[in-house]
Amino acid sequence: MTYAGWIILTASLVGLTCGLIGVFLILRKMAMMADAISHTVLLGIVVAFLITRELHGSHMLIGAVLAGILTAFLIQWLHSLGVEHHASMGIVFTTLFAIGVILIATSVGNAHLDIQHALMGEITFIPWNTITLPLIGQIPEATALLGLAFVIVLFFIIAFYKEWKITSFDPKLAASLGIPVVAMHYLFMSLVSVTTVASFDAVGAIMVVAMLITPAAAAYLWTDKLSGMLVLSGSFGVIAAVTGYYIAAWIDTSISGSMAFATGLIFLVSFICAPKHGMVGRLIRPAEVV
Amino acid sequence: MENKVVQVRDLAAAYRKNTVLHDVTFEVEKGTLTGIVGPNGAGKSTLLNTILDLHPRLSGDVKFFGKPFKNVKKKIGYVPQRGSVDWDFPTTAIDVVTMGLYGQIGRLRRPRRHHREKAYEALRKMGMEFYADRQISQLSGGQRQRVFLARALVQDADLYIMDEPLAGVDAQTEQAIMAILKELKKRGKTVMVVHHDLQTVEEYFDSVLLLNRKVMHYGKTKEVFNRENIAQTYGGNMRWFGKEHRDEFTVHE
């Protein structure tokens, strides 16, 4: 595949995976949790590197999942001690992120882990760093990691579809029916972590938040069905990725920045035009009599 | 023993360091329709949440059908407060009702046609069959409550525990819900309802539990639901127009 082809494929996988998981971030009213986890997975990656002295996909995934679960757990714990929820989020994620930054700046500094890279990602370099997989052949490592993350996320969404639905909509009823609400919460946090760390190389910790939240928030405006929202959000993610690439190529600028910008455009269009919940839709449709 | 559907002994619960409930002891018998009544902040919802293991309890013992809650979940249908969920969630009325069956459907399985038929039947019972495919944000408050009731009905439980099902609903919905509750009672089911309207207690419930952080009075409505006990429970903060006694007195909250 061509150089540009790999970049577009990788970016699309970011858009697709983030779009799917983002739907539940929105519906569970946890959008800011994406911001928190996208920062703390850095600590997971650094610690995984310190232990194994290698920067491999699988180590990074495990480190990120542990960091994500730790983040969710600490936030919950602080909150249970009486700290306001958003404050406890702010305290936990900045502290864990800071530890990650300190570790990078000291002991791991000379490895190819650097803060700039972690925050912004560098999708243009992705095709250089390849691995060889059986059957598929040589592909960029970041692409393989994203493919894996996509399969994991898709598997869990489909396998526990009705459990996601009920725990997002009515956790109290779910608990009274014997559905493990807390376990689902931590599983979800793990999936967010997997998605985030897989997207790290491509878009970095900050832009991944745009990919997680904005396509899902836009999809929310178009549909009345959960399945429809998932399909739309994933599609919006891919569209934003491809559009972003061409915008970046056109005006010769950052690809990840352009992708995030494209998600913003999609949201804007949705906000104005969506027939169900958009501005125009609200103007045209008479107020419903209930 | 078999007649005791709910047994609560010395229950206490707190939010942070504030004890909300203490020394709560009562037993509910099979086939009764109990109203749980008390002023704002009396701990009515906390009581339901605590006995259903949704809120941690400080002490005490709760048994349903003589067993701990986790062993008899399938026999209990819980109806949370309507305001506790997001009605902008992208889903339809029939879908919400089907959720009541998720426990029975089991893990890794999808709802089948007969599950949806059951859900539709429950909607029909609540007079909501024409709204089955409506997005839930398009339903009125009363219609939403009917959807919640339908969702409890599909569970086919032996004990129903409902948090303010009659709050803020239209008169028609109120009648429809009460008709269902009375029918459940007739079929030998047990129903516990957090209720806010003192005027209708005598008409709706055969038993009443007057709650204000602890059980103030509990028993047959005829015996315990009198002016004196109510005044004691509400500590003066009450507004009540007794229907039969024609005595009216109001104290504003």
With CA atoms as reference, report the closest residue to A213 among A37, A7, A67, A30.
A30
* B117 contacts: CB under 8 Å, gap ≥ 6: none
Radius of gyration of chain A from Cα atoms?
19
Q: From chain B, pick out residues whose CB is under 8 angstroms from the CB of A163.
A: 102, 107
The pLDDT confidence band at residue A290, using thresholds 50, 70 and 90, is very low
CATH of the domain at B8: 3.40.50.300
Q: Kindly report, residue by residue over A127-184, the tens digit of the pLDDT.
A: 877 888 877 788 888 899 899 999 999 999 999 999 999 999 999 999 999 899 999 9
C-alpha to C-alpha distance for B212 and B20, rounded to whole angstroms: 9
Give me the residue from B54, B74, B151 closest to A175, CB to CB.
B54
Section A89-108 average pLDDT: 88
Domain count, chain B: 1
Pairs of residues, one from chain A and one from chain B, whose beta carbons lie less than 8 Å apart: 82
Least confident of A13-17, A103-107, A216-220, B18-22: A103-107
CB contact under 8 A, B103 and A178: yes
> Predicted ipTM?
0.87
Least confident of A20-24, A149-153, B246-250: B246-250
Q: From chain B, pick out residues whose CB is under 8 angstroms from the CB of A230.
A: none
Q: Are A70 and A40 in contact, with CB atoms under 8 Å apart?
A: yes
| B28: in domain | yes
Q: What region does A33 belong to: left with phi over 0, alpha with psi -120 to 50, or beta?
A: alpha
Give me the residue from B49, B102, B135 closest to A177, CB to CB.
B102
Q: What is the DSSP letter of A98?
A: H
User: Has residue A53 got a pLDDT over 70?
Assistant: yes
Q: From chain A, pick out residues whose CB is under 8 angstroms from the CB of B92.
A: 224-225
CB contact under 8 A, A159 and B108: yes
Report yes or no: A86 at the B interface, CB cutoff 8 Å: no
Reduce the DSSP state of residue A283 to 3 states and report it. Answer: helix
Q: Is the dihedral of CA A203, A209, A215, A218 positive or negative?
A: negative
Q: What is the pLDDT of residue B237?
A: 55
With CA atoms as reference, report the closest residue to B207 among B78, B9, B29, B10.
B29
| Average pLDDT taken over every residue of chain B | 89
The yes or no reply on domain A25-124+136-273 and CATH 1.10.1660.10 is: no
Least confident of A158-167, A182-191, A238-247, B226-235: B226-235
Q: What region does B246 belong to: left with phi over 0, alpha with psi -120 to 50, or beta?
A: left
Report yes or no: A224 at the B interface, CB cutoff 8 Å: yes
Please report, in angstroms and rounded to a whole number, the separation of the first and last CA atoms in chain B. 41
Give me the residue from B91, B103, B110 closest to A169, CB to CB.
B91
Reduce the DSSP state of residue A159 to 3 states and report it. Answer: helix
CB contact under 8 A, B86 and A166: no
Q: From chain B, pick out residues whose CB is under 8 angstroms from the CB of A160.
A: 107-108
| B144: in domain | no
With CA atoms as reference, report the closest residue to A151 among A140, A141, A143.
A143
Burial class of residue A167, CB neighbours in 10 A (0-12, 13-18, 19+):
buried
Q: From chain A, pick out residues whose CB is under 8 angstroms from the CB of B16.
A: 82
CB contact under 8 A, B103 and A228: no
CB contact under 8 A, A224 and B91: yes
Q: Are A203 and A256 in contact, with CB atoms under 8 Å apart?
A: yes
C-alpha to C-alpha distance for B139 and B69, rounded to whole angstroms: 33
Backbone φ and ψ for B249, nearest 5 degrees, come out as -150, 140
C-alpha to C-alpha distance for A275 and A269, rounded to whole angstroms: 11
Residue B230 Cα distances to A24, B200, B233, angstroms? 46, 14, 5
C-alpha to C-alpha distance for A253 and A286, rounded to whole angstroms: 44
Report yes or no: A286 at the B interface, CB cutoff 8 Å: no
C-alpha to C-alpha distance for A13 and A19, rounded to whole angstroms: 9
Section A45-74 average pLDDT: 86
| Average pLDDT taken over every residue of chain A | 88
Reduce the DSSP state of residue A276 to 3 states and report it. Answer: coil
| B53: in domain | yes
Section A254-279 average pLDDT: 89
The pLDDT confidence band at residue B2, using thresholds 50, 70 and 90, is low
In SS3 terms, chain B reads as CCCEEEEEEEEEEEECCEEEEEEEEEEEECCCEEEEECCCCCCHHHHHHHHCCCCCCCEEEEEECCECHHHCHHHEEEECCHHHCCCCCCCEHHHHHHHCCHHHHCCCCCCCHHHHHHHHHHHHHCCCHHHCCCEHHHCCHHHHHHHHHHHHHHCCCCEEEEECCCCCCCHHHHHHHHHHHHHHHHCCCEEEEECCCHHHHHHHCCEEEEECCCEEEEEEHHHHCCHHHHHHHHCCCCEEECCCCCCEEECCC
Q: Above pLDDT 90, what percent of chain B? A: 74
| B193: in domain | yes
Q: What is the pLDDT of residue A285?
A: 64
Burial class of residue A3, CB neighbours in 10 A (0-12, 13-18, 19+):
exposed
| B134: in domain | no
CB contact under 8 A, B100 and A173: yes
Q: What is the pLDDT of residue A289?
A: 46
- Between these two residues, A195 and A202, which has the higher pLDDT value? A195
Q: Kindly report, residue by residue over B97-147, the tens digit of the pLDDT.
A: 999 999 888 888 889 999 999 999 999 999 999 999 999 999 999 999 999
* Residue ranges covered by each domain of chain A: 25-124+136-273
Report yes or no: A229 at the B interface, CB cutoff 8 Å: yes
Distance (Å) from the C-alpha of residue B175 to the closest C-alpha of chain A? Answer: 18
Residue for token pair 């889903």: B91
Mutate to test the interface with A, among B55, B62, B70, B108 (most CBs of A within 10 A): B108
C-alpha to C-alpha distance for A99 and A46, rounded to whole angstroms: 10
Please report which residue ranges of chain A form alpha helices under DSSP H.
Answer: 3-27, 31-52, 57-80, 85-105, 115-120, 141-159, 161-169, 171-176, 181-220, 226-251, 255-273, 279-284
Nearest CA in chain B to A221: B90
Give me the residue from A163, A169, A224 closest to B85, CB to CB.
A169
C-alpha to C-alpha distance for A123 and A257, rounded to whole angstroms: 11
Q: From chain B, pick out residues whose CB is under 8 angstroms from the CB of A166.
A: 99, 102
| B123: in domain | no
Residue A267 in tokens: 């949201």
User: Has residue A117 got a pLDDT over 80?
Assistant: no
With CA atoms as reference, report the closest residue to A177 among B187, B65, B69.
B69
Q: From chain B, pick out residues whose CB is under 8 angstroms from the CB of A226.
A: 89-91
Nearest CA in chain A to B85: A170
Q: Are B175 and B102 in contact, with CB atoms under 8 Å apart?
A: no
Reduce the DSSP state of residue A130 to 3 states and report it. Answer: strand
CB contact under 8 A, B102 and A161: no
Q: Which domain holds residue B22?
A: 4-83+157-250
The pLDDT confidence band at residue B28, using thresholds 50, 70 and 90, is very high
Residue for token pair 């960029």: A140
Nearest CA in chain A to B81: A172
- Between these two residues, A40 and B248, which has the higher pLDDT value? A40
Please report, in angstroms and rounded to a whole number, the separation of the first and last CA atoms in chain A. 56
Q: What is the pLDDT of residue B240?
A: 52
| B139: in domain | no
Q: What is the pLDDT of residue B109?
A: 87
| B22: in domain | yes
The strand pairing partners of B249, in sequence order, are B240
Report yes or no: A214 at the B interface, CB cutoff 8 Å: no
Nearest CA in chain B to A228: B90
Residue A169 in tokens: 């909509």
